[in-house]
Amino acid sequence: MDLSDEVLRNLRKIIRAIDLHSKKMVSNYCVTGSQALLLRELLESSEPIPVSVLSQRVSLSHATVTGILHRLHDKGLVTRVRDREDRRRIMVGLSEKGQSLIEGVPSLLQERFLLRFSNLQEWQRTQILSTLQQVALLMDAQDLDAAPVLTSGPIDT
């Protein structure tokens, strides 16, 4: 078997695993991976936090987080209120419905990956990073903006 075919086959397996996990999340819990990521981050906050802070914590742009929060708010999963001190700033938190939902959602694909990845030796983690950086370069993807969220389709769904 040609080595390049095996590389492409394994890339397809990774893409397929991400796609299947995303579809399962939407089908079983009516939230995307990106939405679950924001809900998890809000669950860890004891009080509502500014959108800008949430955006930084999840490594997504402010505009992307705002779009995701809009959809979560429409589903009744988050609360949004203006900051009392700075009326320009929007504070977001989990609604009771959002808290109940996210507590029942299994770990995200990237959480399982990161747990297993952290158990590897340092040289193995470095080797994987170097190889993936080379793959991104080969695919002309090295300059694409990407957050550490494993999801299929547009990131702001």
Interval 88-124: pLDDT, tens: 888 999 999 999 999 888 777 878 888 999 999 999 9
For residues 64-79, average pLDDT: 94
Break the chain into its structural domains and give their ranges: 3-138
- Is the confidence at residue 149, as pLDDT, over 60? no
Alpha carbon distance 47, 107 (integer Å): 22
For residues 130-153, average pLDDT: 76
Reduced to 3 states, what is the DSSP secondary structure of residue 82? strand
- Of 49, 57, 71, the closest CA to residue 154 belongs to 71
pLDDT at 147: 57
Helix (H) or strand (E) holding 36: helix 33-44
Backbone conformation region of residue 78, classed left if phi is above 0, alpha if psi is from -120 to 50, else beta: beta
For residues 40-59, average pLDDT: 91
Would you tell me which CATH number, out of the four given (1.10.760.10, 1.10.3720.10, 3.40.50.720, 1.10.10.10), belongs to the domain 3-138? 1.10.10.10
Instruction: Express as a percent the part of the chain with pLDDT over 90.
Output: 45
Burial of 101 (0-12, 13-18, 19+ CB in 10 A): buried
Are the C-beta atoms of 101 and 41 separated by less than 8 Å?
A: no
pLDDT at 15: 87
Average pLDDT, the chain: 86
- Is the confidence at residue 39, as pLDDT, over 90? yes
Q: Which residues pair with 80 in a beta bridge?
A: 92
Amino acid at 33: G
